[in-house]
Amino acid sequence: MGLFQQENMSLIRASAGLGVFGLRDIEILAEACICQYGAALAKVHAWLGAGVDIEDIYLDGLAAAARLLGEWWLSDRIDFVKVTIGVHCLQQILYELSPQFLQRANQKFNGYRAIFFSTPNSQHGFGSVMVAEFFRREGWKVSNVAPESESDVVRELTQQWFEVVGFSVCSDRGWPALKSLILKARQVSLNPNVQIMIGGPMVDLNPDLAAVLGADLIGGDARVSQRLARQNIKRLELAA
């Protein structure tokens, strides 16, 4: 199977909620994340002990649980406090697993830098942390920032050169402000060809959001996002 076919299959699996785990597995993890961090972490370690690949745990386990929490929130099954607790728990599990996940990392810097911002003032930075892990494993120098204001974004982009700047879109509120922030990011970036990537639950629901917000790339499956970003940069380099 070719690279683009693999990426397409990954996107189809992600959008359909398919993976190595059944729905009940993901429900149990999501419920544990709301109630008890220790139980959630034990569930993940049980998967590791059973020989499940850590990449599958990231994409088909943790990311799927985050999506499910979002679905429960939208359907009013849980409130904002519970979804925040659950997503924070998943993020803590990511931090716990990170050293093991990065054991496979390309130790040689590939020459590219990326920075990922969660939505300003958002409580949910899980998606950007997940994507950063996959970029970092492929040799990127990665920064992950939870900005409190536009000035935090401007400061980062005027101090360092980045090939990719990513923004997580967690809700449908504040799109005009995010569009303005993306435009500002282009204006102040040290890299005149900086590539803006957006991702998050709202992007999944709105395929045209990149055009609306003025972004270059849509991040989906974290593994695919890294590949697409690198391919796009290579294309720009060849065209220069």
Q: Which residues contact 69 (CB under 8 A, 6 or more apart)?
A: 30, 33, 34, 78, 83, 86, 87, 90
The pLDDT of residue 119 is: 67
The pLDDT of residue 108 is: 85
pLDDT along the chain (240 residues), means of 10: 33 47 95 96 96 94 91 90 92 94 85 86 72 93 88 94 89 79 95 91 75 86 88 87
The pLDDT of residue 120 is: 59
The pLDDT of residue 7 is: 34
Q: Model's pTM, two decimal places?
A: 0.83
Are 30 and 62 contacting, i.e. CB atoms less than 8 angstroms apart?
no
The pLDDT of residue 19 is: 67
Are 62 and 48 contacting, i.e. CB atoms less than 8 angstroms apart?
no
Q: Which helix (H) or strand (E) covers residue 198, if one does?
A: strand 195-199
The pLDDT of residue 16 is: 40
The pLDDT of residue 93 is: 96
The pLDDT of residue 10 is: 38
Helix (H, G, I), strand (E, B) or coil at 171: coil
Residue labelled with tokens 């055009």:
211
